[in-house]
Each structure stands twice: as C-alpha cells, then as structure tokens.
C-alpha cells in the first residue's frame, strides 16, 4: 500500500489532496470571519448591551474598592510614626477591551476612558507627595477625597449605562449606601483641618473586627 505513494501517480494524488485541503481552508476561514462580522453588523444592539453590562460591572467593582479605601483607617507603627499600612488594596479600574467600549458610542467611550486615566493620575499624584513632610503632605485627606470623587463619577457613569441600554445590576444590601457615604466624605473633605494625622491614627474601639498589623507598645498594648 505504501509503495503506491512512492510512484508518480501516488505523489500526484497526495499533492492534489494537500492542494484541495489548502483551498478549502482558505475558502472557509475568510467566509467564517465574514459571517461573524455580518452577524455582529446585523445585531449591533446586542453587542452594545453586552459591552455596556461588562463596563457597568467593571465600574461597580471599582466603586466597591474605592468605597472600601475611602473608609479604610490606616494603621501606624508605634515604633515608627512614619510607617503605616492600609487594610484594603488600592482601587484598580479594569475595563473591557477598547473594541468593546467603542460599541457604547463616542461620548460614553470617551468618558469611560477619561475616568480610567483619572484613576491612574490620582495614583501617580499620591505617589508624588512628600510623606516625610509635616502632616504627610495631606496624603490621607487627598487620597480619601480623590477616591470618593472618582467613585461618585463612576456611579454616575453606571447609571447612564443602565438607563441608555436598559440594564440592571445585581441588588445590593439596602444598608450598603455607597453614594451617601461618598457624598458625606466629599462634603467633609473641605471642612477638615490639619488634624488628619490624629483622626487617622485613632485607636480602634473594643470589639473592632480589624486585625492590627503592628504590635502595640506601652500603654497601647495593655
């Protein structure tokens, strides 16, 4: 049987089979791509609604992380007052791919990307502060106010996405009033004086569920 493929006729047959396979593949793949693009073109609203839902969920994740960061009281090292840690990670906004965001329309596309850029700018601005200066260069109040404003902006974008694309997000506990908490922080930001360090370093009340990251010394440890 294998001797046949060593003959001229066998070689010609194998070549014909390979050529036919390449031709079929070269014809089928572009056709499949054209079909997929045609399906997307015929039903652009479905693609846009999917992109809107993905974007709304991504923004909602950021709002939750920012809300936690805004209400996170840093813990200071009693042995080194310049050393502190937060109990929650820095908020990060992870958006869908740009090709999906483009389905939202130019205005929402731009505003969503602008918000992402503002989140990065806030992180860079906070990194540029001189924490060795008196009052930590207002790092804590700037961080709290900055994330509160960005989270409130993200909530506004979410509401527009839900209204424009007739969507709903999963329900949240009725006592989890994110917007009210964020507005209160923004309003209080302008009223705070230079006592941020004392407020941030206040000792947690008995029964707190926050685990202290630094060992207590002196009277604090009693």
The percent of residues in the chain predicted with pLDDT above 70, rounded, is: 66
Most confident of 21-25, 43-47, 97-101, 147-151: 147-151
Mean of the pLDDT values across residues 32-47?
61
Residue 73 burial class via C-beta count within 10 angstroms: exposed 0-12, middle 13-18, buried 19 and up: middle
pLDDT at 211 over 80: no
d(CA 40, CA 157): 25
d(CA 197, CA 22): 71
Which pLDDT band holds residue 175 (cuts at 50, 70, 90)?
Answer: very high
Mean of the pLDDT values across residues 132-143?
92
Which pLDDT band holds residue 45 (cuts at 50, 70, 90)?
Answer: confident
State the pLDDT at residue 188. Answer: 86
Contact between 49 and 101 under an 8 Å Cβ cutoff? The reply is: no
Which pLDDT band holds residue 82 (cuts at 50, 70, 90)?
Answer: confident
Which pLDDT band holds residue 94 (cuts at 50, 70, 90)?
Answer: very high
Q: Which residues pair with 84 in a beta bridge?
A: 76
Q: Looking at the whole model, is its pTM more than 0.85? A: no
Gap between the terminal Cα atoms of the chain: 91
d(CA 125, CA 139): 10
Which pLDDT band holds residue 38 (cuts at 50, 70, 90)?
Answer: low
Mean of the pLDDT values across residues 3-11?
52
Contact between 122 and 147 under an 8 Å Cβ cutoff? The reply is: yes
pLDDT at 64 over 80: yes
State the pLDDT at residue 209. Answer: 44
Structure tokens at 54: 């993905």
Nearest to 161 by CA among 56, 64, 47: 56
d(CA 104, CA 106): 7
Who contacts 56 (Cβ-Cβ below 8 Å, separation ≥6)?
A: 158, 161, 162, 167, 169
């Amino acid at each position: 049987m294998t001797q046949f493929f060593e003959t001229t006729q066998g070689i010609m047959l194998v070549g014909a089979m390979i050529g036919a396979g390449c031709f079929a593949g070269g014809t089928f793949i572009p056709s499949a791509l054209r079909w997929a693009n045609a399906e997307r073109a015929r039903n652009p609203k479905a693609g846009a609604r999917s992109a809107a839902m993905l974007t709304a969920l991504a923004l909602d994740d950021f709002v939750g992380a920012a809300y936690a960061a805004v209400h996170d009281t840093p813990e200071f090292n009693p042995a080194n007052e310049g050393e502190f840690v937060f109990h929650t990670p820095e908020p990060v906004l992870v958006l869908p791919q740009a090709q999906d965001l483009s389905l939202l329309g130019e205005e929402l596309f731009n505003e969503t990307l602008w918000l992402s850029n503002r989140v990065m700018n806030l992180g860079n601005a906070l990194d540029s502060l001189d924490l060795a200066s008196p009052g930590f260069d207002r790092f804590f109040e700037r961080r709290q106010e900055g994330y509160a404003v960005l989270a409130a902006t993200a909530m506004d974008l979410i509401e527009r996405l839900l209204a424009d694309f007739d969507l709903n997000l999963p329900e949240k506990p009725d006592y989890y009033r994110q917007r009210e908490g964020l507005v209160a922080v923004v309003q209080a930001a302008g009223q705070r004086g230079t006592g941020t360090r004392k407020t941030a370093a206040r000792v947690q009340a008995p029964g707190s569920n926050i685990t202290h990251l630094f060992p207590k010394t002196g009277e604090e440890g009693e």
